[in-house]
Structure 1
Amino acid sequence: MTISPESFRERILSEIEPMAASPQPIMECLGLACAEDVRAGVSLPGFDNSAMDGYAVRAEDVAGAVPDSPVDLPVVGEIGAGQASLLALPPGAAAKIMTGAPLPSGADAVVPYEWTDRGVARVVIDQSPSVGQHVRYAGEDVSVGDVVVSEGTVLVPRHLGLLASVGRSHVAARPRPRVVILSTGSELREPGQPLGHDSIYDGNSFLLAAAARQAGAIAYRVGIVPDSPRDFLTALHDQLVRADLVITSGGVSMGDYDVVKEALAPQGVWFGGVSMQPGKPQGFGKVGEEQVPIFCLPGNPVSSFVSFENFVLPALRRLMGKKPELRPSVTAKITHAMTSPKGRRQFMRGDYDGTHATVSPVGGPGSHLIGDLATANCLLVIPEDTTEIEAGEPVEVLVLDQEF
C-alpha cells in the first residue's frame, strides 16, 4: 500500500516545529527568517540634511536669481557631514554645505555648486531654488516606531542595511539547521578514488549537502557508510550530537542489502511507498535521545533529489520559519507530447522558458539519469490520473534554483 505525496508530507510536517529564535548579529542573519517585528528607534534621515554639495540658503534671499542678474551673498561658514559647527544661518547669507550634512536653522534650500561660481568668502548664485529643493527632511524615509522589518521576512542584503541604519546590531532570528548527510552502499567510492569493476562514485551526498546548503542550512557531508546495519548505526549515532536533521540516501527499498531500513525500522522509523515517480520508497522518523528527524531517501540520484524537493525542503523551511514552505509552482504549456504511469505522480525533468511560459521535457523518466537532471531547470508535475499529455497543454512546473 502506498500513500500520496501530500499524506507523507503532512506526516512529516506534523513532527517538525520551528527552531527557537534568539538574537543574532545581523551579518549572521542573511537568508534567515526574522522572528520579530523590528521597529525603528531613530528616524531616517535623522535630521534635515543636504542632498547636494553646494550652499545652504534661505530661498527668499536668492529668489529671482538668473544668469543675467545673479545674487551675491557672503559665505559665513562651511558644514561637512559629521563636522557641523554652524548651527544657524543668518538672513542674507549662505553657508557651504556637503551632501549629508545637517541643514542649519534658518536655511530652507540648497543651491548646487553648478549654479554658482563656487566662491569661498562670497558666492555668486545665478539660479534660484524653491523652498525644500535639494533638502532631505528628517523622517521622510522612516519615522521612529515604524515597522521596518516584519516577522517572517527572509532577510536579504537590503534588509540588513536597513537594520543597521536604524541602529540594530542584532535581530531575533531562527538559526540555520545543522543537516547531516550519509550515503550508504559498499559500492560507493569518494570522487578521485580509483573505481573497481563494480563500484561507482558517491554523487548523492554532494547533491543533498549542496541542496541543504542552498536551502539555508549548515550541511555536514559525512561520507560513505558500507552495507552493514551495525556500521550504519554507529556512524549515525556518532553524528547526532551535531544534527538538527539527518538525511540518508540508499538502503530503503526491498533488497537484501537495504541496511537503512533494516537498522531503523525496529527503532520506529516509518518505511513505505509514496505514489510518485521517481522516489517511491521513502522513510521518515525520529532517532536518538533528542528525537532528531531523519529522512531516508532512495539511492538513485534523481529519486533523492526529487524526494528532497518534496519532503526535506519543506521541513527545513519550517525549521527556519520560512514561508511558503513548499516551492511555488507555475503553469506552462508543454512543447512535446508525453506519457505518464497511471497511479503515480510523475516529476519529470524539464527546461522552462519563462519568457514564453513553455516547458520542454528533458531526457527520460529514469531515476538514475543525473546528466539529464543537471541540464534541467525545472520539474514537470504530472498528476496520478493523467497518462497522456498533448503538446500545447498546460502543466504544473516547479522552477528550480529560484529563491522564494
Structure 2
Amino acid sequence: MIQVIEALAIVEANSSKMPGKRIPLGKALGYVLAETVYSHTATPAFRQSAIDGYAFVYSEKQQYDIVGSLQAGEHLNTKLENNQTVRVFPGAFLPDGADTVVTHDYVMANEKSILITVMPDQFDNIHENVEQTEQIDKNEVSLEANTLITPASIGLLYGLGITEVTVYKKPKIALLVIENGLVKTDEKFLKDKIHESNSLMLQAALQTIGIKKTKVFGVKNNFKAIKKALKNSLSKYDIVLISGGVSAGDFDAVKEVLLEDEVKELFYKINQKPEEPLFFGKKEETLVFTLSGNPASLLTNFYVYVCPAIKNKMGFGEIYVPKVIRKLNSEITNTSGKTVFLKVLYDETFVTVLEDNSLVLLDTFAKANSLLMVPYNVENVKKGESVTLLPIN
C-alpha cells in the first residue's frame, strides 16, 4: 500500500501527452497548444486612434478643417495637410501625416471645422505601427506551448493573423460500468432499485475539463463479459475508466482480467480514506483506472488522481487544481494513520467540514466546493489553523 504522494507521482510519470494535430483556430476552444505560437504580424498592425476624437498634424494652430470621418477599420487614402483634421473613432486607421489625436471633449466643432480648447501633447492617443507596437511585435511569442485556449486566446491570435494552431489531441475515453443489480440510466425510475448514475456523473465531471464525448459500456460482473469489453476498449481508447468490481469480493473479476490482458499494475491500494481499492495500470500508452462503485468515493478519486492524468495527456502546463488556503473553523482528528479526504465548504475566510462525509451518499458532495486533505501523519488539526484545499466543481 502506497501513500497518496507516491500515487500522484506515478500517475504523472505515466500519463504522457497526446500527439499534436493542426486545427482551425475557430475550433480550438478548450484544447491546449502543442507548440509556442509566434505572431504573424504586429498588433496593432497599423497606426490607429486610441480614442474617440480628431486626428491632425500637430502644430501651434488651434483651428482645423474637417475633411472626413473614419470608423474602426476604415482608412483615408489622402495625406492630411497642416490645417486639416479627420473625425476618428477608436481603432480607426490614421491618415498619413496625422501624428496626434485630441479627444472630442477638448474640441468645439461644427460641420466644417474644429477649435481645440485644450491642446494635447504631440503623439498623444495613438497606437503605433509595426515598428513600435504597444502589445505584440511581429515574430514575438504570442502564447506559450501548453497554454489552454480560451475565448480571449482565440481573439488575440486571430488579431495577429493566425487562423490555425497545433494542439494536443484530446484523449478518447471509455467508461466501463460494472452493472450487476443496477438499473440502467435510460430505464424507468424504480423506487426499490439501485439506479446506475456513476456514468452520468463521470461524463459530467469530464466535461468540466474539456472532454465532451465519452463512450459508456454496461458490463456484467463476470470474467467473460469484462474481458470482452476491456479488450475492445484497450485497442480503441486512450483512457479506460472502470466503475465497480474491484474490491476484494468473490464476484470481482476486473483485476484478474486486467492482469491477464497484460495491463501493467502501477498501483492498486493507497493508504487513504476513502479506502476502496484504486487500481492504476497501463498497457502501452493506454491508461486504466478502476474506481469504486460508491459514488462519493469514485468522485473523490476522480478529482485527485484521474483528472490530473487526463489533463497531463491533454497537454496542460499545470495539471493539478490550484490550491486554496483557508482557516479551519472546527477541529479535525485523524487517528486512522491514513490520508483522509473530506468534503468541505469554504468562503473568503474560513473552511467548514461538512457533517456527512459518507462514501456512498452524494448530498454532501453536491454542497461541497472543495476537498480537504489531512495527511496520514497528522493526527490533529486545530480550529483556526490554515489548511490547504483542492477546489472542485
1:312 positional shift: 0.9
State whether residues 303 and 392 of structure 2, in contact with CA within 8 Å, keep that contact through their aligned partners in structure 1: no
Question: Alpha-carbon deviations, 1:231-256, whole Å to 9, x = none?
Answer: 22323334445421110111001101
Q: Secondary structure at the match of 2:14?
A: coil
Q: Does structure 2 retain, via aligned residues, the 8 Å contact 1:179–1:218?
A: no
C-alpha deviation, 1:196, in angstroms: 6.2
What letter matches 2:244 in structure 1?
G
| Rounded Cα–Cα distance in structure 1 between residues aligned with 2:382 and 2:69 | 74
Q: How high is the TM-score relative to the length of structure 1?
A: 0.87
| Distance apart, 1:32 and its partner CA | 2.5
1:135-284 alignment, distance < 5 Å: 135-138=126-129, 139-191=133-185, 193-194=187-188, 199-240=193-234, 242-269=236-263, 270=265, 272-284=268-280
Amino acid in structure 2 at the alignment position of 1:28: K
Contact persistence 1:12–1:311 (CA under 8 A): yes
Cα distance in 2 for partners of 1:339, 1:47 equals 64
Are residue 336 (structure 1) and residue 330 (structure 2) matched? yes
- CA distance in 2 between counterparts of 1:296 and 1:235 reads 14
> 2:282 aligned with 1:300, yes or no?
no
1:222 corresponds to which letter in structure 2? V
Letter in 2 for 1:380: L
Given the alignment of the two structures, is residue 313 of structure 1 paired with residue 307 of structure 2, yes or no?
Answer: yes
Q: Aligned residue for 1:21? A: 20
Instruction: Compare 39-48 and 129-138 and name the one that shifted more.
Output: 129-138
Give the C-alpha shift of residue 109 in structure 1: 1.6
User: What is the aligned partner in structure 1 of residue 378 from structure 2?
Assistant: 386
Measure, in 1, the Cα distance between the counterparts of 2:74 and 2:192: 74
Tell which deviates more after alignment, 242-251 or 100-109.
100-109
Partner amino acid, structure 1, of 2:39: A
Runs of 5+ unmatched residues, structure 2: none
Partner secondary structure for residue 153 of structure 2: helix
Q: CA deviation at 1:182?
A: 1.8
SS in 2 for 1:373: helix
Q: Secondary structure at the match of 1:110?
A: strand
2:122 is matched with 131
SS in 1 for 2:371: strand
State whether residues 222 and 252 of structure 2, in contact with CA within 8 Å, keep that contact through their aligned partners in structure 1: no
Cα RMSD (Å): 2.5
Question: More displaced, 200-209 or 261-270?
Answer: 261-270
Deviation for aligned residue 1:47: 1.6
Change (3 A) 1:97 1:326: closer
Query: Post-superposition shift, 1:194?
Result: 4.1
Could you tell me which of 64, 82, 91 is aligned with 2:82? 91
**2:44 paired residue number:** 45
SS at match of 2:383: coil
1:359 maps to which of 347, 351, 357:
351
After superposition, give the CA deviation of every residue in 1:189-217 in whole Å (9 maximum; x if it has no partner).
13463466863111211222222221222
Going from structure 1 to structure 2, the CA distance change for 1:88 and 1:345 (only over 3 Å counts) comes to: same
Give a deviation string over 1:116-174, Cα, whole Å, max 9, x none: 45434444444433212332222122221221111222222212111011011111211
Identity of aligned residues (%): 29
Structure 1 Cα separation of the partners of residues 215 and 89 of structure 2: 53
Correspondent of 2:340 among 324, 334, 346: 346
- Structure 1 residues without counterparts, runs of 5 or longer: 66-70
- Cα deviation 1:63-106 (Å, max 9, x = unaligned): xx4xxxxx3x3334444544423331112222343432222222
**1:51-70 map, 5 Å:** 51-62=50-61, 65=62
CA contact (8 A) 1:78 1:86 kept: no
Instruction: After superposing the two structures, state which structure 1 stretch, 302-311 or 329-338, moved more.
Output: 329-338
Classify 1:118/1:220 alpha carbon distance in 2 versus 1 (closer, same or farther; 3 Å): same
Q: Which amino acid aligns with 1:150?
A: E
Structure 1's 79 and 377: CA in aligned 2 closer, same or farther, altered over 3 A? closer
In structure 1, C-alpha distance between the alignment counterparts of 2:127 and 2:92, rounded to whole Å? 10
Match of 2:363, SS?
Answer: helix
Amino acid across the alignment from 1:10: A
